Amino acid sequence: MTVTRPSTAKLFDEIEEAVETLEHLAVEAAYLQEPCAQVLLRTAELLRAAVLPPVTPLQLDTPASVADQPAV
């Protein structure tokens, strides 16, 4: 039997989609004042922090924050 490993990029894309879905559900739950809203949001945050690679300001296509700038 041959085992094939999934593409890392594809796996991260699928996890990112799941995290975004959790965040969307958290917003909807918060709007409806459901107690699960906080759990959904924390789950998304933990999944993003634990599994996904860190995002740099260049990847976001936005300038780095002032705290990230070197001292003059």
The pTM is what? 0.64
The DSSP string of 42-61 is HHHHHHHHHHSPPPPHHHHT
d(CA 14, CA 21): 11
pLDDT, one tens digit for every residue, the chain (72 residues):
777 776 788 888 888 999 999 999 999 999 999 999 999 999 999 998 888 777 666 655 555 554 555 554
Q: Sign of the CA dihedral 8, 11, 51, 55? A: positive
